[in-house]
């Protein structure tokens, strides 16, 4: 099938067409022609919209699919529909399922279930069996079976020896370790960010220090591994891709630690959840359990630092941290409710609506090129002959978020209006409009 994208502005810094308004002809999954006022024939499906923009397909590096084991909260079909509606063509799913993605059988199940879905599903396999933080999985086998990275997902690695040995083990295969930094002994029974707001609300706080200690620890361990491997040549020499990735950082000090480490040449990367860029801890004054997330919403100064980290390149990617929870897990007293928020459908709109001086090109880079590089996905660009993996959007379009494709409804954004509308995706030779 042929699709003719009419008068779309290209947002892809790697493309020679970047910033230009052009027509794009897609045929059999490939970009066949790019130019102005391309002719329309009877076989073309014409795609046009006000203020239409086109970029590479968006990539979400952190999605909790809940399948297998918790399909009443989400399954692979519903999560893929939600991802496509949010403009994503690729998602990376966490290993925190039941059973855990800690062997080739469960990984194979995910890959089989992902066949024919509107998005590519990439698997992040567990570092430890059952993500219990004790015994290693067969990471080499999982790597050869298709795992794009290794993480215990929602369970931060607490044991420094496990993290150290994982970094050493993954280095020969150019593997990626992903860790959500949290010292859980400091956050035990915590409900929100520790600060003035937690005191006023009478809720147990989760100090920023709990995150920052683990960031600093992990950076020291990575420096040790790299220095050991490279000898006196200097940290990071010869390593061209990130070996350690920090998931969902949330504090100003974490941003600064990572900024300094990058300047020293350590092979690291990091991401931030879109909702962390929208809310601060004052949003919890109404005790809305849909706003109960981990890491928790921090101070306004932390939010500003996160935006600054995106602008200067310290933060590589923006993720949804999509974590579906059923009503029984959220319709409780605040201290009893589960952590988590769904966000696949609202990432782009939330970023545009609440943008703090980030250019559109910078924002799209955090959803396309950088996450592809971190996950070692194939490099693509908007050019003739390239695979047509595209997201179409209108950064000035408005819409109302009134229903979700997710099985769960734990979003504080339902019922809200946004600026920044996804028009649809072109992927696997098909156009999937947002409905």
Residues tagged active-site: 321
Chain center to CA of 349:
15
Cα–Cα distance between 303 and 285 in angstroms, integer?
A: 17
What is the rounded CA–CA span in Å between residue 66 and residue 282? 30
**d(C-alpha 361, C-alpha 70), whole Å:** 37
Q: Angle formed by the axes of helices 104-113 and 76-85, to 10°? A: 50
How many Å separate Cα 309 from the centre of its chain?
16
CA gyration radius, the chain: 21
How far is residue 33's CA from residue 26's CA, in Å, rounded to a whole number? 7
Taking the C-alpha atoms of residue 389 and residue 424, their distance in angstroms, rounded to an integer, is 11
Check: CB of residue 84 under 8 Å from CB of residue 389: no
Measured between alpha carbons, how far is 62 from 6 in angstroms, rounded to an integer?
32
Q: What angle do CA 77, 78, 84 make, to 5 degrees?
A: 90
Beta-carbon contacts of 198 under 8 Å, excluding residues fewer than 6 positions away, are: 191, 192, 204, 205, 281
The residues, any chain, with a CB within 8 Å of residue 55's CB and separated by 6 or more, are 10, 11, 12, 364, 367, 368, 382, 390, 391, 393
């Amino acid at each position: 099938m042929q699709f003719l994208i009419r008068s779309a502005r290209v947002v892809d810094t790697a493309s020679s067409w970047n910033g230009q308004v052009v027509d794009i002809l897609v045929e059999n999954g490939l970009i066949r022609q790019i130019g102005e006022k391309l002719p329309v024939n009877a076989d073309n499906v014409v795609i046009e919209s006000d203020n239409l923009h086109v970029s590479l397909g968006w990539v979400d590096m952190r999605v909790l699919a809940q399948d297998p084991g918790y399909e009443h909260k989400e399954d692979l079909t519903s999560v893929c529909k939600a991802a496509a509606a949010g403009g994503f063509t690729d998602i990376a799913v966490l290993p925190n399922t039941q059973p855990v993605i800690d062997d080739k059988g469960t990984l194979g199940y995910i890959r089989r279930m992902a066949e024919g879905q509107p998005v590519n599903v990439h698997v992040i396999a567990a570092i430890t069996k059952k993500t219990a933080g004790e015994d290693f999985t067969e990471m080499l086998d999982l790597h050869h079976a298709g795992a794009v990275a290794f993480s215990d997902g929602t369970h931060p690695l607490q044991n420094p020896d496990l993290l150290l040995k994982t970094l050493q083990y993954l280095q020969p295969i150019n593997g990626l370790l992903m860790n959500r930094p949290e010292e859980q002994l400091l956050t035990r029974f915590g409900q929100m960010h520790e600060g003035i707001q937690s005191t006023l609300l009478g809720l147990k706080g989760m100090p920023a220090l709990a995150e920052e200690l683990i960031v600093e620890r992990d950076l020291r361990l990575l420096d040790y591994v790299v220095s050991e491997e490279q000898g006196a040549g200097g940290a990071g020499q010869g390593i061209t891709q990130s070996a350690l990735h920090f998931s969902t950082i949330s504090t100003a000090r974490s941003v600064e630690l990572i900024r300094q480490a990058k300047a020293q040449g350590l092979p690291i990367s990091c991401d931030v959840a879109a909702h962390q860029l929208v809310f601060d801890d004052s949003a919890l004054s109404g005790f809305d359990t849909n706003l109960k997330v981990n890491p928790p919403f921090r101070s306004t100064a932390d939010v500003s630092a996160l935006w600054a980290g995106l602008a200067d390149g310290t933060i590589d990617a923006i993720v949804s941290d999509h974590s579906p929870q059923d009503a029984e897990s959220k319709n409780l007293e605040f201290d009893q409710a589960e952590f988590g928020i769904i966000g696949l459908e609202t990432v782009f709109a939330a970023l545009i609506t609440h943008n703090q001086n980030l250019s559109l090109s910078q924002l799209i880079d955090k959803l396309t090129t950088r996450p592809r590089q971190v996950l070692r996905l194939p490099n693509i660009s908007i050019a003739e002959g390239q695979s047509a993996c595209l997201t179409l959007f209108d950064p000035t379009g408005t819409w109302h978020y009134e229903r979700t494709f997710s099985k769960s409804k734990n979003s504080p954004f339902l019922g809200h209006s946004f600026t920044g509308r996804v028009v649809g995706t072109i992927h696997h030779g098909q156009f999937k409009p947002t409905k």
